[in-house]
Each structure stands twice: as structure tokens, then as C-alpha cells.
Chain A
Amino acid sequence: MRVIGILWLRQLIRQWRSRARIIGALGQPLLFLLSFGFGFGPVFARAGAGNYLQFLAPGVIGMGVVFSGMFSGMDLIWDKQFGFLRETLVAPVPRWQIMFGRTAGGATVAMLQGLLVALACVPVGFRPASLTQLPLALTFVALTAFMFTALGTGIASLVEDFHAFPLIMNFLVMPLFFLSGALFPLNGTGTLGVIATFNPVAYAVDGLRGSLTGTWHFGASLDLAVMGLVTLAFLGVGTLLFERVEA
């Protein structure tokens, strides 16, 4: 436990010392919130779909968590390049503990980043529908954070250098985000809606939106079940891939 704890703490300390990273990770979600929120808001309202900002904010919060989680996983590439990973891999501790410590730390960072985005949504005009649902919303934030930190760590176990990073963002994370229903309602989107049922980000966004605004697409139990399973699967596969990293 001490090993997992110290590696968890290390991720937090590193994030805390890198204020630029904290601010930087806020930029993209807020850009989406402001441009899309105010840009499409009137159209959304005219279509009779209600307040777009309320609809969009949970998606943007989810985006913040997903991106931070992936990015935390990518810290592994950094540690490979700058050598610290070896220090942990040659130590007399099981690999899975190293993987769990890293993932827990990265996921905590992603959760905090998501909370920052959520806070930033409030002055823009976002209001959670019910405070009693906040613990459920936090559960979804935590699941999303673990899911994508584990995924990022697993992928980073396979790659040697930073060149892969933009590729992964452009061809995996961005499509997952755009096809998730974070930006538009999935109802009546036909094929898009079908694709979304295979997209874990869609469940994350739905869980957040449901618990924060009361509007569900898949429903809380399905969201929780799918996300729980996928998170476990990503943790498992991530651990297997991490076991194979060469020291």
C-alpha cells in the first residue's frame, strides 16, 4: 500500500507544481463551452430543446476529465523518456502496484481537473439541477477518470516516444468525444446514436448530464454498469500491457 500511496502522491505533487498544466487543461473545455454554448444556444432554444448551456456543460466537464485522464496516462511516456520509470521497474515491488499507484494518481488529477472545469462552468451560467445528485455525479467523474487514465497508461505502455501522442489524441480521443453526445442530443440521430452505444464516453457524458441536469439518455443504472465494466477492463488490460514494459 505504501508503494501505491507514494506513487499516487508523486502524480499529485507533479501536477500541483505545474500550474501551466492545470490552467492549460482548462483551456480547451472552456473554449468549447463558450464558443458552442453561446454560438449554438439560440438555435437550440429556437428548436425548442431548452437551454443549450445546461445541456453542454456536463459534456464539457466530461471532456475535461477524459483529456486529463489520457494525459496522465501519457505521463508514462515522459517517465520512459526521462528514465524515472526504470527506478520503479527495478525496485523489489510487483509491477501491478506501480501501475495502480500511477493510475490512482493520474485519475485523482483528472478528477480534480474535472471539478475545476465544473467550477468554471458556474460563472458562465451553468446550474446543477439538484444538489442531492452531486455524489452520483462525482461517482461518474471518478469512473471516467479511472477509465481513461487506465486506457492512457495502457496505450503509453506500448509506445516509446511522444510522437504517438498527437496521433492518439486525434484518432482516438477526439472521435470518442465528438461521437459521444457531449455536444448534441443523441435522440433521433440515427446511425450516430447507434455508434454512441459502443462509445464509453457517451455513457460518461450521459451519467454526468443525468446526475447534474436530470436529463438521461441511457439511464443511470446502464451508465454505471457499462462504465464500471469498461473501467475494470481497461485497468486489467492496462496492467497486462504495463507488465510487458521493458525496464
Chain B
Amino acid sequence: MIEARELVRRFNEFVAVDHVSFEVAKGEIFAFLGPNGAGKTTTIRMLTTLLEPSEGQIFIDGLDVARHRAEVRQRFGIVFQDPSLDVELTALENLRIHGVLYGVSRRDCLARGESLLRRFELWERRNDPVKRFSGGMKRRLEIARGLLHTPRVIFLDEPTLGLDPQTRNQLWSHVRHLNETEQVTVFLTTHYMDEAEKVAQRIAIIDHGRIVAQGSAAELRDRTGTDSLEAAFLALTGAQIRDEVAEGSDFMRQMVRSRSR
């Protein structure tokens, strides 16, 4: 469903993503992990047509992302790291705008909107302005919105950041349920290793712009001789805090801002 071939992204001299290749099968839940500044967000931006790769190719649902931008966009949903709802509007109004942007008919939008809002336990609050929602409710609404146009793939960039364990747990059970019932492929990033371990069927770990390991959580544990994904992650990426890399990533973000569209 997603195929990245030898992806490279440079920002001047800085190589943010360095010959990254991976494949995500249809219906799979795939976790993309890495320390801050490792190249996760740059990779997601390339996969979602927001940033052009310096080298390499991406295929989503068999379509070359570079050549079929609009068709590819129609096929995925995305929940960004930062919120992207219109908080002045109601939940339903946010869905309605999304439906129009993605060419969903009014009737389908209402029917599917209702079933998604019910599933994410937001139906009762459908006519409330989003500014009155809690952080967890906003996240759920964003995921529901991302699924409204029945995408083949949904990208979730740190969707549980800043949520309490209950909300995180519930959110993942919704995502897993949708993955099972609709066969939607899930590409997620997170810093919570326990989540990745529980939810994802396959995991790739990126560090310094390169993929350092790929496989199921069990395979990564076995390979590193550790007993948890977190220990495996630290064994693979080192225990140092990435101050230097964080600066690199700030630099990178500035470059992204000034050079891309």
C-alpha cells in the first residue's frame, strides 16, 4: 500500500533522510519510530505530498506520488502532529468542510460522518463548537475527519501526544477496530514505545535519517536481546539525549519552511 524506495531528502548540506526504503502492506498497522530529529516528520511530509524528495520514489496504492499528487491525496487521510481543526466551528461543520474538500457527496458525508462520530463517541457533541472539546475529543475528531473520505491509508503523526493513558488507550482501540473492520492501512509515529508494541504489526526505527531496524516488536526484541520494545529502541538508537540532533531538526524545520511548498 505504501512503498518508499531509496528516499533522500537534503536541506542544503544537512541530510534529513538518507536512502530510506520500506514497504507497508495493505491493512497493516505500521509504526515509524525514532528519536527527535531522526527524520520521521520529514519522511511523513514526503509520503503525504507536502515535501518533494531530493531522490527516490514513493508509491501509495500503486500510484507514483510525484506524478499523481491529487489522486494520492484522495487516497490518504492524515492527522498532523499539531491540531488542524477549525475550533470556531462545530464537529459536524468540520466534517462537512472535509467532505467537500475531498469530493464526498452530502449524503455520504452525513451517513459516514454519523457512524464515525458515534464510533469515536462524539455524536452527542456533534453540534458543539470544537473549542469546547477536550484534547482527547479533538484528537478523536481529527481521526474521524481523516477517515471521512474512506481513505486507503491513514497517517497518524504522534496522535497521542499530550493525552492521558486512558484516552490514549481508548484512541488506539478505536484505531485498531477501524483497521480491522475497514482494512484501512495505518502509518503511525509515536514516542510511546508501549503503544507501538501493542498496536503495530510492524515497526521501523529511523535514526540519523537511516532505517536502523525493521520488523515486528518480537523480532526487534530478539535481535537486540532485550525484553521490551523500549529497551530494543534504546539499544538501537543509543541512550544519549539528542540535543545536537534537535538543533539539526530546528534548522531543518526552518529550511522546510523556506524551501518547500
Chain A residues proximal to chain B, CB less than 8 Å: 2-3, 5-7, 10, 13-14, 17-18, 79, 82-93, 160, 243-247
Asked if A246 meets B93 with Cβ closer than 8 Å, knowing A83-B83, A87-B84, the reply is: no
**A84 partner residues in chain B, CB cutoff 8 A:** 84-86
**How near does chain A come to B126, taking the closest CB pair, in angstroms?**
16
**A91 partner residues in chain B, CB cutoff 8 A:** 73, 98, 101-102
B261 touches A246 (CB 8 A): yes
**How near does chain A come to B250, taking the closest CB pair, in angstroms?**
15
Knowing that A87-B145, A160-B257, A247-B50 touch, tell me 14 more A-B residue pairs with CB under 8 angstroms: A3-B100, A3-B101, A5-B100, A7-B97, A13-B93, A17-B88, A79-B86, A85-B84, A88-B101, A90-B48, A91-B101, A243-B261, A246-B256, A246-B261
A6 touches B85 (CB 8 A): no
Measured in the bound complex, the distance between the Cα atoms of B257 and A17 in whole Å is 32
Asked if A90 meets B97 with Cβ closer than 8 Å, knowing A14-B88, A18-B88, A247-B50, the reply is: no
B88 touches A246 (CB 8 A): no
B86 touches A10 (CB 8 A): yes
**Complex: chain B residue closest to A83, CB-CB:** B84
**How near does chain B come to A111, taking the closest CB pair, in angstroms?**
21
**How near does chain A come to B162, taking the closest CB pair, in angstroms?**
14
Q: Which 9 A-B pairs have the closest CB atoms?
A: A91-B101, A83-B84, A92-B73, A6-B100, A92-B70, A87-B84, A92-B74, A84-B86, A86-B84
Contact partner, A14, options B89, B103, B260, Cβ 8 Å: B89
**B129 partner residues in chain A, CB cutoff 8 A:** 17
Chain B residues proximal to chain A, CB less than 8 Å: 48-50, 69-71, 73-74, 78, 80, 82-89, 93, 96-98, 100-103, 129, 145, 256-257, 260-261
**B145 partner residues in chain A, CB cutoff 8 A:** 87
B85 touches A90 (CB 8 A): no
- The secondary structure that dominates the A interface is helix
**Complex: chain B residue closest to A15, CB-CB:** B88
A-B contact pairs, 10 of them (CB 8 A): A2-B100, A82-B86, A83-B85, A84-B86, A87-B85, A89-B50, A92-B102, A93-B70, A93-B101, A247-B261
**Complex: chain B residue closest to A4, CB-CB:** B100
**B257 partner residues in chain A, CB cutoff 8 A:** 160, 246
**A247 partner residues in chain B, CB cutoff 8 A:** 50, 261
**How near does chain A come to B84, taking the closest CB pair, in angstroms?**
4
A92 touches B71 (CB 8 A): yes
**B100 partner residues in chain A, CB cutoff 8 A:** 2-3, 5-6
A6 touches B97 (CB 8 A): yes
**How near does chain B come to A186, taking the closest CB pair, in angstroms?**
41
